[in-house]
Amino acid sequence: MSAVADSRRVAYDTIRAVHESDAYANLLLPTLIGRAGLATADAALATELTYGTLRRQGTYDAVIAIAADRDVAEIDPAVLDALRLGVHQLLSTRVASHAAVNESVELARSAGSRGAAGFTNAVLRRVSRDTPGDWMTRIAAGARSDDEKLGLLFSHPVWVVRAFRRALAAEGRADELEALLTADNAAPRVTMVALPGIAEVPEDARRTPFSPFGFRLSGGDPEAVIRGSEGRTRVQDEGSQLAALALSRALPVRPGERWLDLCAGPGGKTALLAAEALAHGATLEANEISPSRAGLVRRALEGVPLEVPVSEEDGRERAGEAPDTYDRILVDAPCTGLGALRRRPEARWRKSPGDVPELTELQRDLLNAAVGALRPGGVVAYVTCSPHLAETAGVVAEVRREWGAALEELSARDVLIAISDADPDLPVPNDGSGRAQLWPHRHNTDAMSISLLRRV
């Protein structure tokens, strides 16, 4: 097999595993690339094919349904994945049509179902006859609403399009919806952090605009930089950096303060908080319900010379057992993750609106427990990697109602503006709260929501 065919096979096997056994593409792909012995350029091709196909699956399925003249649910799943990979190459890459069609036909044939090769050949030839623009016009014509049309054209489930529209409208920026959907379909540049006080931003790196500790490499291998720094420099989205810094920098730190990271796994923000605690004479504890993720938190802390005990409890109980104890608590809550879709190509297809009520109940309980564990004057940062208003403003409003005058909201926007090296252009949400919402299309970060609440 040629190296390019190997790349396609690796992409196909990854996509199959994502659909068949709920694999995560970002975890499985490097293993399959290593096993196939792909060189750098072929590994990059396999990555582009995998991520591109999974991200744009909604669009491609609409194209396949028209070209095959049947609902995609009626197509053998193994053949459907070969078709998706073929359509991706035909509509979104410069791969020659005959190569895209022939290789997909081979993949479908190897999947074994009778007639698969002929069917795949016929469908892909039909797709290849028209331009990508023609296909977009055709699938848009079948949409019953504007949101459904955007969902088909930008490959997002309609409920996610609606949630994004509402979240942007809450800042008076509903007109940015297409820019956001476009940003979700592009691979993010690797962003790194140099832990404050114990690592330096490399001189030849480009600094990120908002976090004073963030940077992007101009070239070279991030892994080499991480190894060379003994874990004090690491990969971290700039939004995640800002979320941790919003807590550590919300108010001046008094020496001896006690900090808690309540939902810490896998520990990216814990490490940054640990460096901040070390620099300001505070102590830090971490908690994570999943033992394996708690292990990742311990590993993430290896490079920081601060003793950070890591417990493995349900955060609601962990905080409930420690009333009036902590000066700062990070609640980086489990959430739908709709703010990190560009990073996890299959994630948008795995969540459903039915997940939201259960998550918001857990988020509210975790935040309530955290507020109870604050000393008077203490601050909690409530963070989600989702802009969904139910998970962000909704949870905060409910908890504020429960605590009444005993809880005040600080302006996370003002804190982030003070931290940032450049103006992050954070509009005041139209509920008048101090919540800060970052966006992939505007800040080039994950869509993190950050609220700061102070017990009075």
Ligand X SMILES: C[S@@+](CC[C@H](N)C(=O)[O-])C[C@H]1O[C@@H](n2cnc3c(N)ncnc32)[C@H](O)[C@@H]1O
Question: Could you give the residue numbers annotated as active site?
Answer: 385
For residue 246, give the nearest of 192, 283, 299, 210 by alpha carbon. 210
Report the residue from 8, 269, 435, 441 that binds ligand X according to the rule CB under 6 A: 269
Closest separation in Å from C-beta 359 to ligand X: 9
CB of 370 to ligand X, least distance (A): 10
Minimum Å gap between C-beta 427 and ligand X is 25
- For residue 263, state whether it binds ligand X (rule: CB under 6 A): yes
Beta carbons of 202 and 425 less than 8 angstroms apart:
no
DSSP state, 422? S
Shortest spacing between CB 86 and ligand X, in angstroms? 36
Q: Which of 454, 453, 456, 450 is closest to 211 using CA atoms?
A: 450
Instruction: Report residue 425 as tokens.
Output: 């252009």
Instruction: Quote the DSSP letter at residue 378.
Output: E
Residues numbered 399-438 forming contacts with ligand X, rule: CB under 6 A: none
Could you say which of 76, 130, 200, 314 contacts ligand X (CB under 6 A)? 314
The DSSP 8-state label assigned to residue 339 in this structure reads: G
Q: Based on CB atoms, which residue is closest to ligand X, 79 or 193? A: 193
Length of the chain measured in residues: 456
Q: Is 266 in the site for ligand X (CB under 6 A)?
A: yes
Q: Is 170 exposed, middle or buried (0-12, 13-18, 19+ CB in 10 A)?
A: buried
Contact 333, 396 (CB under 8 A): no
| Position among 332, 346, 391, 446 found at the interface with ligand X (CB under 6 A) | 332
Task: Tell me: does residue 315 bind ligand X (CB under 6 A).
Answer: yes
CA dist 46 and 111 (Å) reads 19
CA 176/CA 21 separation, integer angstroms: 35
| Window 219-258: contact mask with ligand X (x via CB under 6 A) | ---------------------x------------------
Q: Using an 8 Å Cβ cutoff, are 312 and 360 in contact?
A: no
Q: 452 by DSSP, 3-state: which?
A: strand
| 383 φ/ψ angles, rounded to the nearest 5 degrees | -125, 135
* Piece of 70-78, 197-205, 286-294, 412-420 that binds ligand X (CB under 6 A): 286-294
Residues 6+ apart with CB under 8 A from 185: 55, 56, 154, 155, 342
Which CB atom, from 126 or from 293, has the smaller least distance to ligand X? 293
Residues 287-306, one symbol each (x = binds ligand X by CB under 6 A, - = not), give -xxx--x-------------
Among 15, 43, 90, 264, binds ligand X (CB under 6 A): 264
DSSP codes joined into one string, 214-258? EEE-SSS-HHHHHHHTTTSEEE--HHHHHHHHHHHTSSPPPTT-E
Neighbouring CB atoms inside 10 A of 262's CB total: 27
Candidate segments 149-157, 225-233, 260-268, 402-410, binder of ligand X by CB under 6 A? 260-268
What does the per-residue mask of binding to ligand X show for 372-401, with x meaning CB under 6 A? -------------x----------------
Of 358 and 425, the one with the shorter C-beta distance to ligand X is: 358
Residue among 173 and 293 whose Cβ is closer to ligand X: 293
User: Which spans of this chain sit near ligand X (rule: CB under 6 A)?
Assistant: 240, 263-269, 288-290, 293, 314-316, 332, 334, 385
